[in-house]
Structure 1
Amino acid sequence: MSNFKKTFQLVAVFLFVSVVQLSAQTYKYQKIVGFSDETNAKLEAFLQSTISMNIRKVAVFDCDGTLFGQVPYYLAEEALYEYARRNYAGKKDAKSVEKFKLVDKMIHEDAISRERDRIKFLSGMTPEEIQRIGDDCFHEKYQNKFYPQMKALLANLRNYGFETWVISASPELLYQRFCVEELGFQEDRVIGVKSLVTMGGVVTDQIVFPSPQDEGKAEVIRTFIKTRPLFAAGNSRGDMEMMNTSVGLKLILNPDAKTPQKVMGGKTVKEYWAADPNCITEYTRDVTEGNYNWACDEYKVKQNAPTDVSTPAVVIY
């Protein structure tokens, strides 16, 4: 056998071994510390089952309370109220008075109205300014609130070729920068409440529909993602419609076990998802940490209830 032929065969064997090893690495599942053995087994079996799928593999996530903690306050509320405290409190000019009135309204109104008024509050700014408000609040008070279990889950999904998307009822621009930089999402896959931006680059108070609130989260999937996800994760009643679009696995975190929900047939969030054989229930630790000067404290915003993995508690939505 010629030296050339021997060399060719050796190269061929090397390339074959390399491809096998690369494939094994690509589809290696990393056990998620903090999730139960049962949950890990279900996740691994699910991910392995998707290897041969020749389709878009999509996973969708709620943000607050699902990817990172919401105790004692939602980041969207703290970010806006802190900005108002620093820039509008005590001032008498028309803009400051108008913006501060919106703060008082948002504290006392229902979720749908609050969604609209958050966009009004942010109108007149540039997209970059709004992204900076959210990012600044994240780094000041929330940078240790991301759940390590969810970071590991995202890494596993991406390792198996999944597109990962955020669908949040908070203002989209407010959450984009830190979700991209801290969790590796593509910017156009962080979807929240959108507002029209003028040709001059100014954000208006006109909401772009569909808006991701309750059923709106499912509408966002149909409108912007354009395929049903194989995986969906949430933590509240507001994620029900989004999670029900999944044709594969679902994950509910820290579900409320005390408040019956009419839209869930009178069941609590925990009871509703416990009846779904394709849904995993898990708990993550979400408690108040750090001695921060919360704007929400000053303005008497109701705190979200803590959840400890050892003693799951009611989470306020």
Structure 2
Amino acid sequence: MKKLLLYIFLAQISLINAQKYSYIQGWSKEANTKIEKFLNSQIKSKERKVAVFDCDGTVFGQVPYYLADEALYMYADNNYRGKTDEISKEKLAILDRMVKDGNNVGKNYVEDRVHFLSGLSPEEIRQIGVDCYQKTYKNKMYPEMKELIKNLKNYGFEVWILTASPELLYQKFVSDELEIPPLNVLGVKSVIENNLSTKQIILPIPQDDGKAYTIETFIQTKPLIVGGNSRGDLDMLNESAGLKIIVNPDNEVVRPKEDGVIGGYTVKSYWEKNDGIIVYCKDSEDSNINYHTKQWKIRKNKDTSKP
């Protein structure tokens, strides 16, 4: 009995010692101190520990274009452009509609990404995402965020990723890079029928307030840490019961009054006032890459990765 108690005691000591914070190079001492202090405060917690992060612009770069767009336009150029069969015409018509819409963070545009991928198998869609990531975005995964996530897993946290991009498109490369379960990558879901993706979208869509609903619907617990980068992550960030981490926040656009609580502020100034931990990760355009998205005349995302 004494040996058993000693074993349990030593195991507990070993677990506590294993949960040591690894300093994140490139982030301020203040940010590191706040994160480390919070993680240490959760060591003895027996409750479910969950961290949730936005994807594009939060865990990897979005300058000059979103991977979701580049993947679709690249696939269209390689498989449909210049063809006159019915499937090619249908898919190109969807992209033409998206280009005409122009608002690639709007609801219709986000849904049309899923419509474009309909008719493909889940494995085919996952591979499209992998191919695009490997070709164009491989060096845009933020090392600081990977180190943060490594810390979180070391402290016993579940890590979830939320994206307004098609879930299947992001599922494999994100889970592989961050070493999290594929089912922890939540995006815009579509009904799968006979192993083919359909146009039928499963709600909620993880966009704007839909990200908060996605946490409640699929993760089903209050996260202790939430990270995001934009106005669209506001509702999700406010779901956090602990830390709110804001990556590369914009400090130029003053949000309009009709934008609710953030009206009259930039993203950065709002979170400076509301206890956000602001961090920066390098995200710039590689002039050597010929983006397919550029040829389709989709607007660029601006570089906000400098304080």
Task: Name the TM-score class by shorter chain.
Answer: over 0.9
Match among 153, 175, 196 for residue 158 of structure 1: 153
Distance apart, 1:289 and its partner CA: 2.2
Out of 65-74 and 259-268, give the one that drifted further. 259-268
Q: Give the structure 1 partner of residue 73 of structure 2.
A: 81
> What corresponds to 1:236 in structure 2?
230
Aligned-partner Cα distance in 2 for 1:260–1:108: 26
Cα distance between partner residues in 1 of 2:141 and 2:278: 18
Please say if 1:257 is aligned against 2:290.
Answer: no
Supply the AA of the counterpart residue of 2:273: A
**1:56 pairs with 2:53:** no
- Partner residue in 2 for 1:3: none
- Segments of 5+ residues of structure 2 without an aligned counterpart are none
Question: Any conservation in 1 of the 2:250–2:304 contact (CA below 8 Å)?
Answer: no
Q: Which residue of 2 aligns with 1:285?
A: 282
Q: Give the aligned partner of residue 140 of structure 1.
A: 135
8 Å Cα contact 2:56/2:163 also seen in 1: yes
Query: What one-letter code is carried by the residue in structure 1 that aligns with 2:241?
Result: V
Q: Does structure 1 residue 222 correspond to structure 2 residue 216? A: yes
How much does 1:18 deviate?
5.1
Shift of 1:24: 3.8
Q: What does residue 201 of structure 2 align with?
A: 207
Q: Deviations over 1:196-250 (max 9, x none)?
A: 011x111100110011010000000111111110000000011000010001011
Amino acid at match of 1:90: G
What residue is the counterpart of 1:269 in the other structure? 267
The 8 Å contact of residues 59 and 162 in structure 1, kept in 2 or not, is answered as yes
The answer for the alignment partner of 2:298 in structure 1 is 301
Within the candidate set 92, 98, 106, 1:100 is matched to: 92
The letter of the residue matching 2:49 is: K
SS in 2 for 1:33: coil
Output the CA distance in 2 between the equivalents of 1:161 and 1:184: 14
The one-letter code matched in structure 1 to 2:141 is: F
Q: AA paired with 2:198?
A: T
Greater CA radius of gyration, 1 or 2?
1
**Aligned partner (choices 9, 19, 32) of residue 27 of structure 1:** 19
Distance across 2 between alignment mates of 1:53 and 1:80: 43
TM-score of the two chains, using structure 2 as the length reference: 0.93
1:14 CA drift (Å): 8.6
1:184-203 pair list within 5 angstroms: 184-198=179-193, 200-203=194-197
Would the aligned equivalents of 1:284 and 1:307 in 2 still touch at CA under 8 Å?
no
Q: In the TM superposition, what whole-angstrom CA distance separates every residue of 1:71-119 from its partner, at most 9, and x where no partner exists?
A: 1110000000000000000111111111112112222323111111111
- 1:176-191 to structure 2, matched below 5 A, reads 176-191=171-186
Paired letter, 1:265: G
How far did residue 17 of structure 1 move?
8.4
Amino acid paired to 1:282: V
Residues 48/128 of structure 1: CA separation in 2 closer, same or farther (3 Å cut): same
Aligned to 1:174: 169
Whole-angstrom CA distance in 1 between matches of 2:38 and 2:88: 52
Q: Which letter maps to 1:80?
A: L
**Deviation of 1:300 (Å):** 1.6
SS at match of 1:81: helix
Whose RCO is larger (CA < 8 A, sep 6+)? 2
Provide the secondary structure at the position in 2 that maps to 1:170: strand
CA distance in 1, matches of 2:148, 2:267: 22
For 2:202 and 2:8, locate their aligned partners in 1 and report how far apart those are by CA, in whole Å: 51
Q: Report the identity percentage.
A: 48
Q: Assess if the C-alpha contact under 8 Å between 2:281 and 2:305 holds in 1.
A: yes
Q: Is the 8 A contact 1:79 1:134 kept in 2?
A: yes
